[in-house]
Structure 1
């Protein structure tokens, strides 16, 4: 039996995002796994990549007498060198050895004599030193010569030891990212935890181990194994051994309409806003930012946009950033994805709700407690009132009002479609522009450079875009959106709304069809008349601020609830 869902554990729509969705091309992701081979007596930290089967790197070490240990090898596959991954393995090794009570670590730096001192110098930056009086071995292979330099790391010389992150397990994923501005100013940390912003060219020291939390949060760990922290005063340091509250950055969709603060007015580089990207919100409610004009890292009171650069960089105030929700829609809304949603939601057994209860639930879904302050409810009423004021029939008034309730499917998301919760109510109801799934995406949908993210689009281009001609718009597959879900809810519950009302709901966001005259080849003869009628409704999508201010939900709701009684069952299955 369907029951009203509990939203206690849900966060408002558009309040969280996933870091990887900010990138056009998914950033490289890695994870560590520890093994202890009792037979060989070798301990290993093994590095894996999300994009490749098998290990891409490992550190092998053994426990020796007198509380010492020996690193037998550190290996990173060639294509992944230069990204600071060897040091990640080294930190994992140190944390294990410290827990085991080791007091000294040994290794041999084996390097080509043509690159004399390079590997030895690297290990020296890690804290190792050449063993006094130890013999350096020289190995010859034809014309090549290698030297083997014994090195040692006495633990008593170290005041800091990295530990395994408190919120992660051996199978947790992380990225290696440079945090920078478009001009190459990078977020850097010194060993004592001091933070600065300076220009760097391909320097592994500028890479941050970016741990990906379960709920969209990230933790930034410097090459020195210390976490970035924003203190209550706003001071920023990278000196923390553990990742906890002050070391947490929540990834949120960037809101370009955020008001400017006095802090921004004093710094031109902070006033530059962007239509897209994400913001990095710290525990105290402010946002991480690189002020490249003053070469400093600051905590801004208002959201500052970051967007994906290449697979290893996150760029602050990127000039050509794209809206996060557009990237999400373009990447995920494929034929395969939509089919899964039809199966998941097609039985309409998630809840039994009246329209009044559905309105309360959609308010809660958007983090609203009171109707008078609910943006989504006031938008539903304001857009419907505009239709009503222009003398349209009551069934169209109701259809426009109901659109917001389509978002209720987001109460019952899972790992497969949870990404859609990163899209806000405003983006779903006002900004969304959809297309016919399974064929190439028209440029008029917006941001055509993102079409390559959509596998259907790419496959259609390769196959010369062959489609079924004149099959009729009723038979097309559309992206899985609140409009599509609501259309199917109303069909399933056998509403008495006319077909025109259902068309208005389903095709509302298909602007490529009714505003830009695409898909003629898919239309049946009667679809052209429908398209012309839908085009006339476009004016009702945008609601002015003044109109929203004048909406009093308690006064208007009785009218729309009475229309619901006229055309809909008392209780609907959702």
Structure 2
């Protein structure tokens, strides 16, 4: 049964917009502020503006189980919904125009161009620039009817004990895996320092896009795509016990990417017509003529 057939419209879309999640991350981790201070501010549960975010995470933490992740991979990693050029996929993503975001009037394509242009301006390799451009392309899951909490949100491992460093950890009390002896121990189905390549992450746009691009991009780019929402690790260090030395090396790239993702929003729109040729050439350098979604 598809996700959209199991839940009410309110459960499918608890947020006013999918960008509300990233706005909330910005409040938790404001630039230049230590995470501990930001977390204290975030845990003001009496703030009514947090209500939709709390409901989002209540649903996310309840339903993101080990079995749910396996079902989503089986469903979506067949890539049998659409096939199109990457630029067309970005324009398809652009139908997620967000009229309710109070902080920015840019559509999805313009926001991603803005992120990529900030990376390019700092002289990073062209594959890094491309990663900035496509990193949210997996949000097309929303256009396939997926619930918001199965598209965006902080990501975390499933199949082992949920860390109390994950946002709103109390909501995991309603997750069936918390009472399953296969999944509720520190290592669960994994082994010490097994490496994240052996760990199943909660389902969302990060994991989806990783599987779309894993045969084409340099490894640092793939880590950026797959783990940029894994705040419990790259901001809180909660899953060191599952990581190996190679993960730690690669996470330096994730940490380098994160500020461009969070802090590059600006009301000044990029001129798409002036940039399209550059990005189409960049796409052609690394990715196939068409991708399957």
Is the structural similarity TM-score above 0.5? yes
1:558 partnered with 2:277: yes
Whether the 8 Å contact between 1:379 and 1:543 is mirrored in structure 2 is no
Deviates more, 1:554-563 or 1:468-477: 554-563
CA distance in 1 between partners of 2:183 and 2:16 (Å): 34
Aligned partner of residue 274 in structure 2, secondary structure: helix
Q: Which among 235, 252, 261 is matched to residue 541 of structure 1?
A: 261
CA distance in 2 between partners of 1:422 and 1:17 (Å): 13
CA distance in 1 between partners of 2:271 and 2:98 (Å): 19
In structure 2, the residue matched to 1:326 is 57
Please state how far the C-alpha of 1:501 moved relative to its aligned partner.
0.8
Whether the 8 Å contact between 2:161 and 2:185 is mirrored in structure 1 is no
Indicate how the Cα distance of structure 1 residues 478 and 511 shifts in structure 2: closer, same or farther if over 3 A, else same: same
CA distance in 2 between partners of 1:423 and 1:339 (Å): 13
Q: Which among 196, 200, 203 is matched to residue 477 of structure 1?
A: 200
Please state how far the C-alpha of 1:374 moved relative to its aligned partner.
4.6
CA distance in 2 between partners of 1:252 and 1:472 (Å): 33
Whether the 8 Å contact between 2:80 and 2:292 is mirrored in structure 1 is yes
CA distance in 2 between partners of 1:363 and 1:552 (Å): 15
Name the count of aligned residue pairs: 255
In structure 1, the residue matched to 2:37 is none
1:434 partnered with 2:209: no
Whether the 8 Å contact between 2:193 and 2:241 is mirrored in structure 1 is yes
CA distance in 2 between partners of 1:449 and 1:566 (Å): 45
Whether the 8 Å contact between 1:17 and 1:253 is mirrored in structure 2 is no
Q: Which among 118, 128, 133 is matched to residue 401 of structure 1?
A: 133
Which structure is richer in relative contact order (CA contacts within 8 A, separation 6 or more)? 2
Indicate how the Cα distance of structure 1 residues 276 and 554 shifts in structure 2: closer, same or farther if over 3 A, else same: farther
Q: Which among 139, 149, 165 is matched to residue 444 of structure 1?
A: 165
CA distance in 1 between partners of 2:268 and 2:211 (Å): 32
Please state how far the C-alpha of 1:412 moved relative to its aligned partner.
2.9
Please state how far the C-alpha of 1:533 moved relative to its aligned partner.
3.1
Aligned partner of residue 275 in structure 1, secondary structure: helix
Indicate how the Cα distance of structure 1 residues 323 and 555 shifts in structure 2: closer, same or farther if over 3 A, else same: farther
Aligned ranges for residues 125-136 of structure 1 at < 5 Å? none
CA distance in 1 between partners of 2:244 and 2:149 (Å): 36
Indicate how the Cα distance of structure 1 residues 464 and 436 shifts in structure 2: closer, same or farther if over 3 A, else same: closer
Please state how far the C-alpha of 1:458 moved relative to its aligned partner.
4.3
In structure 1, the residue matched to 2:91 is 360
Aligned partner of residue 520 in structure 1, secondary structure: coil
CA distance in 2 between partners of 1:332 and 1:352 (Å): 29
Indicate how the Cα distance of structure 1 residues 357 and 544 shifts in structure 2: closer, same or farther if over 3 A, else same: closer
Whether the 8 Å contact between 1:440 and 1:460 is mirrored in structure 2 is no
Q: Which has the larger radius of gyration?
A: 1
Indicate how the Cα distance of structure 1 residues 455 and 557 shifts in structure 2: closer, same or farther if over 3 A, else same: farther
Higher-strand-fraction structure: 1
In structure 1, the residue matched to 2:228 is 508
Indicate how the Cα distance of structure 1 residues 465 and 405 shifts in structure 2: closer, same or farther if over 3 A, else same: same
Please state how far the C-alpha of 1:541 moved relative to its aligned partner.
2.2
Please state how far the C-alpha of 1:486 moved relative to its aligned partner.
0.6
Whether the 8 Å contact between 1:406 and 1:486 is mirrored in structure 2 is yes
CA distance in 2 between partners of 1:349 and 1:440 (Å): 33
In structure 2, the residue matched to 1:274 is 49
Indicate how the Cα distance of structure 1 residues 560 and 276 shifts in structure 2: closer, same or farther if over 3 A, else same: farther
In structure 1, the residue matched to 2:15 is 253
1:524 partnered with 2:244: yes
Name the Cα RMSD after superposition.
Answer: 3.0
Indicate how the Cα distance of structure 1 residues 521 and 412 shifts in structure 2: closer, same or farther if over 3 A, else same: same
1:572 partnered with 2:291: yes
In structure 2, the residue matched to 1:290 is none
Higher-helix-fraction structure: 2
Tell me, which stretches of 5 or more residues in structure 2 are unaligned? 24-46, 100-104
> CA-to-partner distance for each residue in 1:392-427, whole Å, 9 max, x for gaps?
1110111121122111233334xxxx4x14778xxx
CA distance in 2 between partners of 1:570 and 1:375 (Å): 24
Indicate how the Cα distance of structure 1 residues 374 and 460 shifts in structure 2: closer, same or farther if over 3 A, else same: farther
